[in-house]
Structure 1
Amino acid sequence: MSKSDVVALFGNRFLTKPAPSETFPEEGMTALDAMRLLDADLVMEGDPQRNLATFVTTWMEPEAQRIIAENLHRNFIDHAEYPISAEIEQRCVRMLADLFHAPGKTAGCRTQGSSEAIMLGALSLKWKWRERRKAAKLSVDRPNLVFGGDVHVVWEKFCRYFDVEPRIVPLAENKYTIGPEDVAAHLDENTIGVVAVLGTTFTGHKDDVVGIDKLLRDVRKERDLDIPIHVDAASGGFVWPFLYPDSKWDFQLEQVRSINVSGHKYGLVYPGIGWLIFREESDLAKDLVFYENYLGKTDATFTLNFSTGASMVLAQYYNFVRLGRQGYTYVMETMQSNARALADNLRSSGRFEVIGSDLEQLPLVAFRLVGKHAYDESDIAWQLSAERGWMVPAYTLPPNAEGVKILRALVKETMSREQVERLTEDIGRACATLDQKGATSDVERARVKGGTGY
């Protein structure tokens, strides 16, 4: 038997050869070899169950996974051939509009994630502002958008990509969200809208949407400027309705005209799926809608992406009908309970300050060291990963709070109380190790990140 025959029978030829990476391969390989090649690479990645950094869903029920797998070949945008997928999208839109208290008939769509939804929602703000200005025979050359330093970077991307002046409200130590007193000075006739965040990436809290709404209603009355709010509910849109049902932040507030939410975060669907919901049909700028018929029927589209799989839309609908309000409430309350247990453990250790756990917050724990140490939060994150494989991010807050460094642990649907206790113990062990050896050098941290994929 030749050596190639032996390899084919017993092994994988890439056990002793580098994987293709620089040039397009001349020859193919068996399906089994290709699968094993990828498996060998992916085994070096982190364990999603220990990834407390990502907001993105890392587990779904087997039935949902089956729906996804059986529909990966279905192109969502082809409404002529797949009209049921299109109808299911609109069912989800109507359900979300109901969840967010839309007053009547509305418009909305699925997107690849909240980044696309934000781009579309902000474009509609700009187009609607332009319509109002043109109707009044006023200039349309200096649009601006007001938001806090607590927003996701996609808002700054929008402003750069679509020629809008960003008016960013800075944060401060011990003030990690914004309210009407921060926004008022930035408003003028060229303001296309104000962004309010529901569940910030940094600490999990919300901007004062109620206060900003009142400010904008007063501005409309006193200055004849109708400035809308877009709520970036990427994370919080599937949390607040179930954990804080009496908290007003959505279309119950008059100036809230559009909302984005990520289905692949607390909507409990794998990436990527997001949603954009308008208060009323008239809040969608008509210039954003395109009509085409080259897939077999005339369709109106206003997404940035065209072809995309239907799987995650179907998976979102599965979650809606599988869980309902009762089920989502149960899941969110379970995560919140475990987050509070972790917060109590960290606070009781005497090593950490827990940030804002007495406020409305996502199911997460934001915490920072107290007292003087030879190491900081980044060293703890490094030690946790090196010793136990936990991925807990450490980062500084936005200007003008960049002097504050924190750790953040997301408590997911799959995190049990036993794992909360284990994480607490592992954080304690990491600190004890650092007490003895001091800070991990930046050189060593960089070396391992570059060499092993940390």
Structure 2
Amino acid sequence: MTSGEYPSPVMSDLDALAREYGNRFLLEPAPDHRLPRHGMRAVDAMRLLGEELLLDGLPMRNLATFVTTWMEPEAQRVVAENLHRNYIDHAEYPRTAEIEQRCIRMLADLFHAPGETTGTRTQGSSEAIMLGALSLKWKWRARREAAGKDTTRPNLVFGGDVHVVWEKFCRYFEVEPRIIALQPDKYVIGPADVEPHVDENTIGVAAVLGTTFTGHADDIAGINDLLVRLNEERGLDVPIHVDAASGGFVWPFLYPDSEWDFRLSRVRSINVSGHKFGLVYPGIGWLIFRERGDLPDDLVFYENYLGKRDATFTLNFSTGSSMVLAQYYNFVRFGHEGYRYIMETMQANARHLAERIAAIGDFRIIGSEKEEQLPLVAFQLAGDHNYDEFDVASQLAAERGWMVPAYTLPPKADHIKIMRALVKLTLGHSMVETLADDIAAACQVLAEKGTLHPHDRSRVKTGTGY
């Protein structure tokens, strides 16, 4: 045997060495269908998970999701040090409960609530929307019962630009969805779209501030004026719930004079995602009511088995306190001016990206600088090409690891294909330049080789993160 040569160990020797050096996970398939008979060393379990997650995309290149992918180290420490603290246990963690209420009061003030109000922390905007819509149904039913009228046919009016959770609510809680279809040249809704669908059985109108599809807002002020008129002329008492999952932390800072919130009399509740432009990791959402009376008493439950009598208004129960505390950290860390600076920074980079993509010559930008919009770029191919938006998205992912979604609009505009790039704080100016260059390069490659695969609508992914 020459110097540097070693005999090959048998498998039992490898097993022993693996146990000694912490590499056991290299010799076994990942546990799958059942719990493994024996556990493994902590370092092995950590490295096994690490290798699995290497196959995921990089969050910093995920321009599909609205959800926050980076927080400051100090905020990460707040999160890590409070994962074990149960948010729902107000008896044992009264300061956490107080901090939640501080956040609710700050958001109510940000949304111009006229007086004392209430709200709740939720797991995300999906839970907040479920609770807000239940409140609409309960209030409608109480009004109908007081008038001695039928309560068996509630309906809810909203546009095709909403998140799927609104249809889920209608199916789960037996409410007729009256969905206003989008049009090829109109991706939001206004009063003229809403009016034909409203009647005495309408529990409310859901309006969107910052749509998933293009980042624009429904005409909430116009819808409010319509509902005020219908109340005066026909006695229809129809409230508005604003789905501000994405826009609730954008409009107050970029468009402070735009009236979409409690400044409008028919707006009775608002949801917002703290884990989107509230700049917190998943999952934190908020539901804010205009007045305490907008939350029906019989939707609030009381229990005392955690140490004292507590009121709960949630679909989930136990969950960590970390994200509530992280939200408060952001509020006191950034303040109003800090949030404004962050939103303006993202908006400036979004406009620069739009200019660069338009300059490629293959795309049409949806919207303009004059329109109120989330910090994103929605765009689509213009003219004839031997490839489509799904091919561009796939090419970007395969060659450069960018996650830029391609998707179609809802009926009746479902033949319209769009791409969308979220411009969050992690996408700085130099990254914008690189992304634009990579989009141009992807188009050049596709122009030479054509479509990558048959187009399958089941691959559509908008990356909302409610």
With the length of structure 1 as denominator, give the TM-score of the two structures: 0.97
Q: Distance in 2 between matches of 1:197 and 1:67?
A: 32
Of 206, 210, 233, 2:217 maps to: 206
Matches within 5 A, 1:222-301: 222-301=233-312
Alignment CA distance shift 1:315-1:167 (3 Å)? same
Shift of 1:350: 1.2
| Cα shift readout 1:23-73 (whole Å, capped 9, x = no counterpart) | 121111111010001001001100001000000000000000000000000
Matched with 2:324 is 313
* Residue 405 in structure 1 maps to residue 417 in structure 2: yes
Q: Report the 3-state secondary structure (helix = DSSP H, G, I; strand = E; otherwise coil) of the residue aligned with 1:230.
A: strand
Shift of 1:351: 0.9
* Residue 46 in structure 1 maps to residue 52 in structure 2: no
Of 46, 64, 76, 2:87 maps to: 76
Matched with 1:329 is 340
Of 353, 358, 377, 1:365 maps to: 377
| Cα shift readout 1:66-112 (whole Å, capped 9, x = no counterpart) | 00000000001000000000000000000000000000000101000
Matches within 5 A, 1:349-428: 349-358=360-369, 359-428=371-440
Shift of 1:4: 2.8
Matched with 1:452 is none
Q: Please say if residues 142 and 165 of structure 1, whose CA atoms lie closer than 8 Å, have aligned partners that are also in contact.
A: yes
Matched with 1:16 is 27
Matches within 5 A, 1:331-350: 331-350=342-361
Matched with 2:119 is 108
| Cα shift readout 1:329-370 (whole Å, capped 9, x = no counterpart) | 000000000000000111122111000133100000000000
Q: Distance in 1 between matches of 2:68 and 2:415?
A: 31
Tell me the matched-pair count: 448
Shift of 1:300: 0.8
Alignment CA distance shift 1:213-1:33 (3 Å)? same
| Cα shift readout 1:344-403 (whole Å, capped 9, x = no counterpart) | 111122111000133100000000000100000000000000000000000001111111
One-letter code of the match for 2:439? I
Shift of 1:11: 4.7
Alignment CA distance shift 1:22-1:162 (3 Å)? same
Q: Distance in 1 between matches of 2:39 and 2:296?
A: 49
Matched with 2:5 is none
Q: Report the 3-state secondary structure (helix = DSSP H, G, I; strand = E; otherwise coil) of the residue aligned with 1:442.
A: coil
Shift of 1:405: 0.2
Q: Report the 3-state secondary structure (helix = DSSP H, G, I; strand = E; otherwise coil) of the residue aligned with 2:218.
A: coil
Moved more, 222-231 or 21-30: 21-30
Q: Distance in 1 between matches of 2:398 and 2:14?
A: 40
Matched with 2:105 is 94
Q: Please say if residues 382 and 445 of structure 1, whose CA atoms lie closer than 8 Å, have aligned partners that are also in contact.
A: no
With the length of structure 2 as denominator, give the TM-score of the two structures: 0.94
One-letter code of the match for 2:285? G
One-letter code of the match for 1:278? F
Q: Distance in 1 between matches of 2:90 and 2:455?
A: 54
Alignment CA distance shift 1:368-1:67 (3 Å)? same
One-letter code of the match for 2:351? R
| Cα shift readout 1:204-224 (whole Å, capped 9, x = no counterpart) | 000000000000000000011
Matches within 5 A, 1:149-160: 149-160=160-171
One-letter code of the match for 1:245? P
Moved more, 49-58 or 18-27: 18-27
One-letter code of the match for 1:148? G
Moved more, 13-22 or 147-156: 13-22
* Residue 144 in structure 1 maps to residue 155 in structure 2: yes
Q: Distance in 2 between matches of 1:443 and 1:191?
A: 39
Question: Structure 2 regions of 5+ residues with no counterpart?
Answer: 1-11, 462-466
Q: Please say if residues 22 and 41 of structure 2, whose CA atoms lie closer than 8 Å, have aligned partners that are also in contact.
A: no
Shift of 1:442: 3.0
Q: Please say if residues 357 and 365 of structure 1, whose CA atoms lie closer than 8 Å, have aligned partners that are also in contact.
A: no
Q: Distance in 1 between matches of 2:95 and 2:452?
A: 55
Q: Please say if residues 343 and 357 of structure 1, whose CA atoms lie closer than 8 Å, have aligned partners that are also in contact.
A: no
Q: Report the 3-state secondary structure (helix = DSSP H, G, I; strand = E; otherwise coil) of the residue aligned with 1:339.
A: helix
Identity of aligned residues (%): 71
Shift of 1:446: 10
Q: Distance in 2 between matches of 1:200 and 1:254?
A: 22
One-letter code of the match for 1:142? R
Question: Structure 1 regions of 5+ residues with no counterpart?
Answer: 450-454
Moved more, 288-297 or 436-445: 436-445
One-letter code of the match for 1:23? R
Q: Distance in 2 between matches of 1:50 and 1:3?
A: 39
| Cα shift readout 1:247-291 (whole Å, capped 9, x = no counterpart) | 000000000000000000000000000000000000001110001
Q: Distance in 1 between matches of 2:163 and 2:149?
A: 32
One-letter code of the match for 2:249? F
Matched with 2:41 is 30
Q: State the 4+ residue runs in structure 1 displaced beyond 6 angstroms.
A: 443-447
Q: Report the 3-state secondary structure (helix = DSSP H, G, I; strand = E; otherwise coil) of the residue aligned with 2:418.
A: strand
Q: Report the 3-state secondary structure (helix = DSSP H, G, I; strand = E; otherwise coil) of the residue aligned with 2:177.
A: strand
Q: Report the 3-state secondary structure (helix = DSSP H, G, I; strand = E; otherwise coil) of the residue aligned with 1:104.
A: coil
Matched with 2:207 is 196
